[in-house]
Chain A
Amino acid sequence: MSVIALDQKAKDARPARETAEARALRETTPTHWFPYAAPHARGRDVRENAFSFRGISRKFGDKTVLDNIDLDVPAGQFIAVIGKSGCGKSTLLRLLTGLDRPTSGTLTVNKGAEGQNRTRIMFQEPRLLPWARIAKNVEVGLTGIAKGPQAHEQSLAILREVGLADRAKEWPSVLSGGQRQRVALARALVAHPYILALDEPLGALDALTRIEMQQLLERIWLQQAFTAVLVTHDVSEAVALADRVIVIDHGRIALDIDIPLERPRRHGSPELARLEGQILDTLFGSAA
C-alpha cells in the first residue's frame, strides 16, 4: 500500500481520509477484529503502524523525562501530543526523528512506500538559511534526493501549494513570521515525508496567522496523507486538527482519546469544546 508519493488526484484512495469502516476497525481492540483469523495480518493490510514506541524511557541523569511509553500510531493518522512544558513531549519528538536516543525500550519506525522512510521535523522556529533564497531553502528538503532543475521544479510546486510561489526568489529576511513558517512547512513536505513531526510549529505566530496555518496544514495533510505528529500546548489547536490526542503528564501517557469529528471542523463548536474540557480536566484535575 502506497502511503506517500500519491498524486493529488487520487485523494479518495488515501488512508488519511478515514472511512467509517476503518474507524470502526481502529476503535475496537485488535483482539476483537477477526477472532477467527490472525488479527494482525488483516490489520496491517488496512492500516500499518507508522511508528510504535515499546516501553520507551528517556532519562537525563536522575530525571526521568519519558517513563515506559507505549504508543502505536497508524500510518496516515494525525496525532496531537499535549502536555505542560517540560512534560517530555518534545523529547518524544526528538526520539521519533532520531535527534535523540531512548535510554531503554524499542522504537520502530516503519518504512513508507518504495522504502521512502522519511521522517521530517518542523521546528518552532522556521530555521531557514538566511543566505539562501526561498526556493533554495525549500530545496534543502531534497538533500540527497533530488538536485538541480528537478529539485527546483519540486520546490516551486510545493511553494505554490503553501501560497508562496511568487516569493521563491526572495531572501528569508523580507518575509513575515507566518510566511517563514510556511516556507519551513514547504521544506519539510517537499520530499513527501512518511511521518511529519511538528514541534509547536505555530507557537510563535499571532492568533489569526495560527488559524490560517492550521487550515493550510490540514489541507496539505489531507492531500499528501502523511502521518502527522503535532506537539502543542494549545488544546483547541489539537482538537481542531487531530484524529487522536494524547496527553503526556510526568513522562506517562495520561490520556489517549480519538476525535471522531468530521472535517473541516468549525472553531468553537460544542463537540470541540467538550473534548477540550475533557483534556483540560486531565491536565489540571477535574476540580480545576
Chain B
Amino acid sequence: MMKSTGQSLLHSGAAILRNGTGWLLPALIVLAWEIAARTGLISPNVMAAPSAVAEAFWRLLLSGELVRNIGVSTARALSGFVIGGSIGLVFGLANGLSGLSRNLTDTTLQMVRNIPHLALIPLVILWFGIDEEAKLFLVALGVFFPIYVNTLLGIQSVDPQLVEMGRVYGMSRATLFFRVILPGALPAIFVGLRYALGIMWLTLIVAETIAASSGLGYMAMQAREFLLIDVVVLSILIYALLGKLADSFARLLERLTLQWHPAFQTA
C-alpha cells in the first residue's frame, strides 16, 4: 500500500517534471536577463529588466489600461478570425465538394493569395481610415487563406475508397458529408486553424502598430514615444502569451475531436 502510494507520487512527480521541462529554458533565460540588467551588462535604454517589466505590468493592470487594451485587441482578433475563417471554410468546403465551384473561384483565390496581405495596409488605410474596419479586414484576409487552402486540401485528400464504401452502403449526400468527408478533412482543417491563429496575431500587431487608437500595438507604440521600454517589452510578452493561449486552445479542440487519430491516443 505504502509502496504503491510512493510509486504513484513518484509517477506524478515525473509527470510534472516532464510537462515542466518545456518551461525550464525560458525560466533560465529570464533569470540570466535579470542578472545582466542588474549588473549593468544591458543598459536600461536597450532592454528593461524582467522586474521592471513586471512592475510595468502591475502599474498598467491597476490603472485598467492593460485589461482594456488586451480586451480591444482580443475582440478585434477574434472577430476578424471568425469572419475570415468562416468565409475560408465555406469556400474550402464548396471547392472541395464541387468541381464547378472550384473551376469558378480557385484560380482567382490563388492569385489573391500570392499578394502579401500586409502589403494592402496603405490601401486599407485609404479605404477605411484607422477605424475598426481596417483591422477587421486585414485579419480576416490573413486568416482566410490558411483555412481555405487546408480545408480544400483536407477534402481532396479524403480516402476515395471510404467515399465509395459510403455510397455502396446507401449513405445520402448529407450523411456522406458528415460521417465520411468532414471527419476525414478535419485533421487538415486543424492544421489550417493553427496557422490562421498565428497569422491572426501577426496581422493584428502590424495593423495596430501602424494605424490604431487603442489596443496592445497602440499601447506599445505610445510607450515608444515616451521611451517606456518596459511597457514595450511587456506588450511583446503579452502578444507571445496570447499567441500561445490561442495555440493551446486549438490543440485542445484537436485532442477532443481527433480522439480516433493514432497520434492522439494515449492508451
Measured CB to CB, the residues of A under 8 A from B are 97, 99, 120-121, 123, 125, 127, 129-133, 140-141, 143-144, 171-174, 187
Residues B180 and A129 in contact, CB atoms below 8 Å apart = yes
A129-B180, A130-B261, A131-B260 known; A143 and B170 CB under 8 Å?
yes
* Contact residues on B (Cβ < 8 Å of other chain), bracket: 20 to 34
Q: Name the A residues within 8 Å of B258 (CB-CB).
A: 131
Residues B170 and A123 in contact, CB atoms below 8 Å apart = no
Stretch at the interface among B94-102, B161-169, B246-254: B161-169
Q: Supply 26 A–B pairs (Cβ within 8 Å), ascending by A.
A: A123-B165, A125-B161, A127-B161, A127-B165, A130-B260, A131-B183, A131-B186, A131-B260, A132-B179, A132-B260, A133-B260, A140-B165, A140-B166, A140-B169, A140-B171, A140-B179, A143-B170, A143-B171, A143-B175, A144-B170, A171-B259, A171-B260, A173-B261, A173-B262, A173-B265, A187-B169
A131-B260, A143-B170, A143-B171 known; A123 and B161 CB under 8 Å?
yes
Residues A129 and B179 in contact, CB atoms below 8 Å apart = yes
Measured CB to CB, the residues of B under 8 A from A are 161-162, 164-166, 168-172, 175, 179-180, 183-184, 186, 258-262, 265
Residues A129 and B169 in contact, CB atoms below 8 Å apart = no
Tell me, in angstroms, the Cα distance from A51 to B183 when the chains sit together. 36
7 A-B pairs with the lowest CB-CB distances in the bound complex, closest first:
A131-B183, A131-B260, A127-B165, A173-B262, A171-B260, A143-B169, A144-B170
Interface centre among B164, B170, B183 (most CB of A within 10 A): B170
Classify the secondary structure of A's interface with B. loop
Q: Name the A residues within 8 Å of B165 (CB-CB).
A: 123, 127, 140
Tell me, in angstroms, the Cα distance from A133 to B265 when the chains sit together. 13
Chain B residue at minimal CB-CB distance from A97: B168
Q: Name the A residues within 8 Å of B184 (CB-CB).
A: 131
Tell me, in angstroms, the Cα distance from A99 to B260 when the chains sit together. 29
Q: Name the B residues within 8 Å of A125 (CB-CB).
A: 161
Q: Name the A residues within 8 Å of B170 (CB-CB).
A: 143-144
Q: Name the B residues within 8 Å of A97 (CB-CB).
A: 168
Tell me, in angstroms, the Cα distance from A123 to B261 when the chains sit together. 23
Tell me, in angstroms, the Cα distance from A125 to B168 when the chains sit together. 14
Tell me, in angstroms, the Cα distance from A256 to B259 when the chains sit together. 49
Tell me, in angstroms, the Cα distance from A131 to B261 when the chains sit together. 7
Q: Name the B residues within 8 Å of A131 (CB-CB).
A: 183-184, 186, 258, 260-261
Tell me, in angstroms, the Cα distance from A127 to B184 when the chains sit together. 13
Partner of B162, one of A120, A127, A133: A127
Partner of B169, one of A130, A132, A141: A141
Beyond A127-B162, A129-B179, 15 additional pairs, beta carbon < 8 A: A99-B164, A121-B168, A123-B161, A127-B165, A129-B162, A130-B261, A131-B184, A131-B261, A132-B260, A140-B171, A141-B169, A143-B170, A171-B259, A173-B260, A187-B169
Tell me, in angstroms, the Cα distance from A190 to B180 when the chains sit together. 20
Tell me, in angstroms, the Cα distance from A187 to B165 when the chains sit together. 11
Tell me, in angstroms, the Cα distance from A280 to B66 when the chains sit together. 83
Q: Closest approach, in angstroms, between the C-beta of B164 and any C-beta of chain A? A: 7
Chain A residue at minimal CB-CB distance from B179: A129
Residues A129 and B168 in contact, CB atoms below 8 Å apart = no
Interface centre among A121, A129, A173 (most CB of B within 10 A): A129
Chain B residue at minimal CB-CB distance from A125: B161
Residues A99 and B168 in contact, CB atoms below 8 Å apart = yes
Chain A residue at minimal CB-CB distance from B175: A143
Tell me, in angstroms, the Cα distance from A180 to B160 when the chains sit together. 18
Q: Name the B residues within 8 Å of A123 (CB-CB).
A: 161, 165
Tell me, in angstroms, the Cα distance from A74 to B32 when the chains sit together. 85
Chain A residue at minimal CB-CB distance from B161: A127
Q: Closest approach, in angstroms, between the C-beta of B258 and any C-beta of chain A? A: 8
Q: Closest approach, in angstroms, between the C-beta of B256 and any C-beta of chain A? A: 13
Q: Name the A residues within 8 Å of B259 (CB-CB).
A: 171
Tell me, in angstroms, the Cα distance from A130 to B162 when the chains sit together. 10
Tell me, in angstroms, the Cα distance from A131 to B181 when the chains sit together. 11
Tell me, in angstroms, the Cα distance from A120 to B165 when the chains sit together. 10
Q: Closest approach, in angstroms, between the C-beta of B102 and any C-beta of chain A? A: 25
